[in-house]
A = this chain, B = another copy of it.
Amino acid sequence: MGTYQRPDGWEILGDPSRRAIVECLAERPRAVGELADTLPISRPAVSQHLKVLKDAGLVDDEAAGTRRVYRLNPAGVSALRDQLDMFWKRTLQGFEEIVEDDERNAVTEAPEQDEGKS
């Protein structure tokens, strides 16, 4: 269902392989073959993931001979993180105080007498 929002960061990082690639690229730039050798998936699979990541602006590629070195795009990464943070901001808005309060008690049994609807 695309009724909610356009494809967001969750779809991109929702895939474990993609997350692994990002983490791997966070260490240092790597060629496609290197990534494929590290990950438990084939090289074409890596290529496809890289395409998604590149399309999302998360990575940059750079030709180096017959190889093609990929690296994280800082701007894209921070932008995506920003986007995900927005979700938390919206979700925890007027709610985090309850979170902290609840964490102190460690018990979710706040005695309530009002259970009526709105």
Contact = CB atoms under 8 A, between A and B. Distances in A.
Nearest to A41: B1
Contact of A1 (B5, B40, B75, B93): B40
A52 interface: no
Q: What is the total number of copies of this protein in its complex?
A: 2
Nearest to A91: B26
A113 B60 contact: yes
Interface residues of A, number: 59
B92 A77 contact: yes
B1 A16 contact: yes
Interface of A: 1-5, 8, 10-11, 13-14, 16-17, 19-20, 22-23, 26, 28, 31, 34, 40-41, 60, 62-64, 69, 72-75, 77-79, 81, 84, 87-88, 90-95, 98-103, 105-106, 108-110, 113, 115, 117-118
